[in-house]
A and B are shown apart, each in its own frame.
Chain A
Amino acid sequence: MDFVFTDEQRMIAETAQTFFAENATSERTRAAMATDGIDHALWQAFCQELGLSGIGIPEAAGGAGLGLVELAIIAEAAGAQVAALPMLGSLALVAQAIAAGGSEAQRSEWLPALLSGETIAAHVEADDLVAEGDSLTGSSAFVAHGSAAGLLLVSGAGGSWLVRADAPGVSITAQTTMDQTRPFARVELAGAEGEPLADPHAAAKAATEAGLVTLAADGLGLAQAALDRTVAYARDRVQFGRAIGSFQAYKHRLADMMVEIEQARSAVYWAACAVDEGSEEAALALHAAKSFCADTAFRCAGDMIQLHGGIGFTWEHDAHLFFKRARALQTLLGKNDWHREQIAAMVLGETA
C-alpha cells in the first residue's frame, strides 16, 4: 500500500503539465476549434518530441510500457488545458485495442504510425453494424475526431475491424459539435472492407479500460483547472470593497468544488491502479471513476461560469470550452447513470 506517485511518476506529471501549459494555449486551441478540432502541430510535438505517446502500450508492442497510472497523468495534464488532441480515440481506444487484440502484423503496421502521430485513428461504435464476412455496413453519428482519422476501428456485431478511412464504401461527414475540441463526425459504412482484429475481446477490454481512465483523468484535470482559474479570479476581483473570494457564498462554493475534486482524484488513480494491478475491483473502479469524474467536471465547469459572472458567459472567456468539454464527458463511453446502474447491479449481487 503506497498510494502516492513514485519519483518517476512525479517527473512524468511535471513534464506533461509544463508541456501542455506552455503549448496548449487558449489561442492555439481556438485555432484548432475552427478546423478539425486538432492542434496538429501540438499532436506532432507530443508524439515525437515528448515521447509520452506510447505510455500504456507494452514495450513488446512498440510502446513505452508503464501503465494506466501514467496514462492518467498525461490525460489529466492535457485535460487541464482543454487541449485539442485526439488522445482518446487515437491512443486510448484504438492503439490500446490493436496492442491488446491485434495480430503481430496489425501491430507492426499500425502502432508505429499511431504512436508517432503520423496517422490519427478514431473509434466507431456502430450499434447497427452488419458484417457479411468482413464487409461492413452500418453507421455512427458520434465519432470523436472522425474527420481527421486515417484509420477507423469499427466495433459492433460481436467483432472489431480495422477500416481505412479512404477505403471504398466509407463516407465521413464532419458534424457541427457543441464541444469543438472533440468534434464528432458521422461515419457511414456501405459494404466497406474491414480487417478483423485477432482477439476482439481482448481489444475491447483494453480499449474500454484505457478509454474510461483517460476520460476520468481528462475530467479531473478539467475540474481542477476550472477551480484554479476561478480561485485566481476570486482573489483579484474586488467588489463591494473586498476581494470576492472573501465572501462566504463564493468561497463555500469553491470549497465544495475542492471536496469533489479530491474525491475525483482518488477515483482516477484508484481505477488506474486497480487495472494495472489486476485487482478484482477494476470493473467497479472504472465505472465509479468515469461517472464521478464526469459529474465533477461538469459541476466545476458550470460553477466556473457562474462564479465569473457575465464574463464567464462570453465566447471570449475560456469557461465555455471547459463547460462544453465537460458536457461531452457525460456521454462519451456511456452515460453516468448507466455506469452507476452497472455498479448497482454489482453491489446488489445481480451480476454473475
Chain B
Amino acid sequence: MKLGFTPAEEEFRAECAEWLNTQMAGEFADIRGITTLTEKAERRKEWEQHLGAHGWGCIGWPKEWGGRDATLAQQVIFAEEYARAGVPGRVNHIGIELAGPTLLALGTDEQKRRFLPDIASGKTIFCQGFSEPNAGSDLASVRTKARLENGEWIVDGQKIWTSLAHISDWIFVVTRSEEGSKGPKGLTFLMMELDQPGIEIRPIRQINGDAEFNETFFDGARCPADSLIGAVGDGWRVAMTLLSFERGVSTLGQQMAFRNELDAIIAASKENGAAKDPLIRQRIAKAEIGLRLMRYGALRMLSNTDHASVDGAALTYKIQWASWRRSLGELAMEVLGQAGEVTDHDGYEWPMLPNLFLYSRADTIYGGTNQIQRNLIAERGLGLPREPRGDA
C-alpha cells in the first residue's frame, strides 16, 4: 500500500501543471475559472480542440486513437492538475469519458476509425440520451422508438435531461427497437447526428437560472443502419457498459473543483468573521475531512484492479460526493449569511457559492438519486433482498 507518487510521476505532474498554467495565463485566460457548464461554450469548444492538438485530449486512450497510453497514476495526476489550474470542465466529457470508452470496448473497427480520432481532437462533441420524461430513475422504461426502414433507423420520441445537447454534435440514444418489449429487453443503442430536421432541442431553465439540460425531441429523425453499438436488442447491456465507465478518473478532477469551492468558503469565512464561530469551524473541518476521504476513496477504487469483487468504495461513491456537495452548498450559505441571497448581476446569475448552493440540489438526483443509490448499495453491495417491483 503506497500513496505517494514516484519521482517520474511527480515530474509528469510538473509538466502537466506547467502546460496548463501557461495556457490559462495566455491564449485561454478568458475561460479560466469558469465553473458553470454553459458559459462561453464556443470558446470552450476551441479549448477542446487545443487540448486535442497538443495531445492532452484523452490521455488514457491508446495512442492509435489519439491518446497517450497514460498510466492510471498519470491520468490521476492530469485530472488533478487540470482542475487545480482553474481550467473549466470539459464540454465534451460525455464523449471522452463515456462514448469513447464504450466505442473502444464494443465498437467495430470502422466505428472506432470514424469517431475516436474526432472525439480525441475535440471536433465531435457528444451528449447522452438516456432519461425520458416521467421515467425518473427507472432507466429501462424507454419509450423512444426506433425502426429499421430502407437501410436507416427512424427514431420517434423524446429524451430529457440531455446535458449540453444544445452545444453538441452527436447524441447516443437508447431506443426501443422491438415493438411491445418491456424493461431492459428489446432496446438498441444508436448514435445520431444532432443537426438534422427530425431533432429539436429545447433548453430547460433550472433552479439557478442556467440552462445546461435540455429536452430533445425526435420526430422521424434518421441515422444509417450501422449506427448502432452492439447488436439490435442489446442496448441495455451497452448502456450498462457505458455507465460503468462513469466511475473513472474524472472523479478526481471533480474533487479538485470541489477543493476550489471549499477554499472559496474558507476564504469567505475568514473575510467576514464566520471563521470565528465554533459551529462553522466544525462544519468546515467536516467538509475538509469529507473531501480528503473522497480523494482517498477514489484512489482506493482506482488502485483496486480486482474487478471481480464487489468494490464497496465504487458503489458508495456517488451518494458520498453528492451528499457532501449538497452540504457544502448549505455551508456556503451559512457562511455568507444574507449577503449570499443577493447578487449584483442584472439577470438571475449567481456567483460561485450561491450557485453551488442551488445547483447542488441536482447532485443528489441525477445519475441515480440518493434513494436509488441506497437500493443499489443494499442489494448489490450487501446482498439484501430486492425491492418488490411492479410490472412495467
* A119 smallest CB distance to B (angstroms): 32
Residues of chain A from 46 to 68 with CB closer than 8 A to chain B in the complex? none
Query: Quick check: which of A158-166, A203-211, A271-279 contacts chain B, the rest being far away?
Result: A271-279
Pair B1/A2 contact, Cβ less than 8 Å: yes
Pair A284/B292 contact, Cβ less than 8 Å: yes
Pair B300/A347 contact, Cβ less than 8 Å: no
Pair B289/A246 contact, Cβ less than 8 Å: no
* A77 smallest CB distance to B (angstroms): 16
Query: Quick check: which of A4-12, A298-306, A313-321, A322-330 contacts chain B, the rest being far away?
Result: A4-12
Pair A4/B385 contact, Cβ less than 8 Å: no
Q: Is residue B381 within 8 Å, beta carbon to beta carbon, of the partner chain? A: yes
Q: Is residue A348 within 8 Å, beta carbon to beta carbon, of the partner chain? A: yes
Pair A245/B385 contact, Cβ less than 8 Å: yes
A6: B residues at CB distance < 8 A: 1
Pair A1/B297 contact, Cβ less than 8 Å: no
A284: B residues at CB distance < 8 A: 288, 292
Cα of A248 to Cα of B9 in the assembled complex, Å: 45
Looking across the interface, which residue of chain B has its beta carbon closest to that of A235? Answer: B384
Pair B292/A288 contact, Cβ less than 8 Å: yes
A190: B residues at CB distance < 8 A: none
Q: Is residue A44 within 8 Å, beta carbon to beta carbon, of the partner chain? A: no
Q: Is residue A255 within 8 Å, beta carbon to beta carbon, of the partner chain? A: yes
Cα of A4 to Cα of B73 in the assembled complex, Å: 13
Question: Are A266 and B384 CB-contacts (below 8 A) given A4-B1, A258-B377?
Answer: no
Cα of A251 to Cα of B381 in the assembled complex, Å: 11
Give the interface size class of chain A: 35 or more
Pair A347/B284 contact, Cβ less than 8 Å: yes
Q: Is residue B293 within 8 Å, beta carbon to beta carbon, of the partner chain? A: yes
Pair A267/B384 contact, Cβ less than 8 Å: no
Question: Are A9 and B384 CB-contacts (below 8 A) given A4-B300, A262-B313?
Answer: no
Residues of chain A from 231 to 277 with CB closer than 8 A to chain B in the complex? 231, 234-235, 242-243, 245-246, 248, 251-252, 254-256, 258-259, 261-263, 265-267, 269-270, 273-274, 277
Query: Quick check: which of A104-112, A132-140, A177-185, A338-346 contacts chain B, the rest being far away?
Result: A338-346
Which among B288, B290, B388 has the greatest number of chain A C-beta atoms within 10 A? B288
Q: Is residue B282 within 8 Å, beta carbon to beta carbon, of the partner chain? A: yes
Cα of A269 to Cα of B379 in the assembled complex, Å: 27
Cα of A340 to Cα of B286 in the assembled complex, Å: 7
B289: A residues at CB distance < 8 A: 267, 288, 291-292, 340, 343
A256: B residues at CB distance < 8 A: 374
Of the candidates A3, A231, A292, A341, which one forms a contact with B3 in the assembled complex, judged by CB atoms under 8 Å apart? A3
Pair B296/A269 contact, Cβ less than 8 Å: yes
Q: Is residue A337 within 8 Å, beta carbon to beta carbon, of the partner chain? A: yes
Q: Is residue A151 within 8 Å, beta carbon to beta carbon, of the partner chain? A: no
Q: Is residue A71 within 8 Å, beta carbon to beta carbon, of the partner chain? A: no
Cα of A235 to Cα of B386 in the assembled complex, Å: 11
Pair B1/A269 contact, Cβ less than 8 Å: yes
A348: B residues at CB distance < 8 A: 266, 269-270, 275, 281, 284
The 0/1 profile, CB within 8 Å of A marked 1, for residues 233-257 of chain B is: 0000000000000000000000000
* B11 smallest CB distance to A (angstroms): 14
Q: Is residue A93 within 8 Å, beta carbon to beta carbon, of the partner chain? A: no
Pair A263/B383 contact, Cβ less than 8 Å: no
Cα of A349 to Cα of B288 in the assembled complex, Å: 13
Of the candidates A235, A252, A262, which one forms a contact with B312 in the assembled complex, judged by CB atoms under 8 Å apart? A262
A227: B residues at CB distance < 8 A: 382
Cα of A343 to Cα of B387 in the assembled complex, Å: 41
Looking across the interface, which residue of chain B has its beta carbon closest to that of A268? Answer: B296
Of the candidates A3, A281, A291, which one forms a contact with B303 in the assembled complex, judged by CB atoms under 8 Å apart? A3
* A109 smallest CB distance to B (angstroms): 33
Q: Is residue A222 within 8 Å, beta carbon to beta carbon, of the partner chain? A: no
Question: Are A273 and B3 CB-contacts (below 8 A) given A262-B312, A341-B285, A348-B266?
Answer: yes
B299: A residues at CB distance < 8 A: 1, 3
A242: B residues at CB distance < 8 A: 385
Q: Is residue B378 within 8 Å, beta carbon to beta carbon, of the partner chain? A: yes
Q: Is residue B366 within 8 Å, beta carbon to beta carbon, of the partner chain? A: no
Question: Are A263 and B76 CB-contacts (below 8 A) given A231-B384, A254-B378?
Answer: no
Q: Is residue A32 within 8 Å, beta carbon to beta carbon, of the partner chain? A: no
* B272 smallest CB distance to A (angstroms): 13
Q: Is residue A69 within 8 Å, beta carbon to beta carbon, of the partner chain? A: yes
Pair A341/B282 contact, Cβ less than 8 Å: yes
Question: Are A273 and B378 CB-contacts (below 8 A) given A263-B290, A291-B289, A344-B285?
Answer: no
Of the candidates B3, B304, B378, which one forms a contact with A279 in the assembled complex, judged by CB atoms under 8 Å apart? B3
Q: Is residue A152 within 8 Å, beta carbon to beta carbon, of the partner chain? A: no
Residues of chain A from 14 to 67 with CB closer than 8 A to chain B in the complex? none
Q: Is residue A285 within 8 Å, beta carbon to beta carbon, of the partner chain? A: yes
Pair B378/A251 contact, Cβ less than 8 Å: yes
B319: A residues at CB distance < 8 A: 255, 259
Cα of A235 to Cα of B385 in the assembled complex, Å: 7
Cα of A235 to Cα of B378 in the assembled complex, Å: 11
Question: Are A347 and B385 CB-contacts (below 8 A) given A254-B378, A266-B297?
Answer: no
Cα of A251 to Cα of B388 in the assembled complex, Å: 13
A269: B residues at CB distance < 8 A: 1, 296, 300
Cα of A9 to Cα of B1 in the assembled complex, Å: 8
Pair A263/B320 contact, Cβ less than 8 Å: yes
Looking across the interface, which residue of chain A has its beta carbon closest to that of B378? Answer: A251
B293: A residues at CB distance < 8 A: 263, 266-267, 270, 288, 292
Cα of A265 to Cα of B311 in the assembled complex, Å: 12
B387: A residues at CB distance < 8 A: 246, 248, 251
B303: A residues at CB distance < 8 A: 1-4
Looking across the interface, which residue of chain A has its beta carbon closest to that of B72? Answer: A1
Pair B320/A347 contact, Cβ less than 8 Å: no
A288: B residues at CB distance < 8 A: 288-289, 292-293
Cα of A248 to Cα of B369 in the assembled complex, Å: 14
Show 13 A/B contacts (Cβ-Cβ < 8 Å), sorted by A.
A1-B299, A3-B300, A5-B1, A227-B382, A231-B383, A231-B384, A235-B383, A245-B378, A254-B378, A258-B377, A274-B3, A344-B282, A348-B270
Residue positions of B touching A, CB distance < 8 A: 1-5, 9, 72-73, 76, 266, 269-270, 275, 278, 281-282, 284-286, 288-290, 292-293, 296-297, 299-300, 302-305, 312-313, 315-316, 319-320, 323, 371, 373-375, 377-379, 381-388
**The 7 residue pairs across chains A and B that have the minimum distance between CB atoms:** A340-B285, A251-B378, A246-B385, A344-B281, A255-B374, A255-B377, A266-B296
Give me 16 other A-B pairs in contact (C-beta within 8 A), A242-B385, A263-B297 excluded.
A1-B3, A1-B73, A248-B371, A248-B387, A251-B374, A252-B371, A255-B319, A255-B373, A259-B377, A265-B300, A277-B2, A292-B289, A292-B293, A341-B278, A344-B284, A344-B288
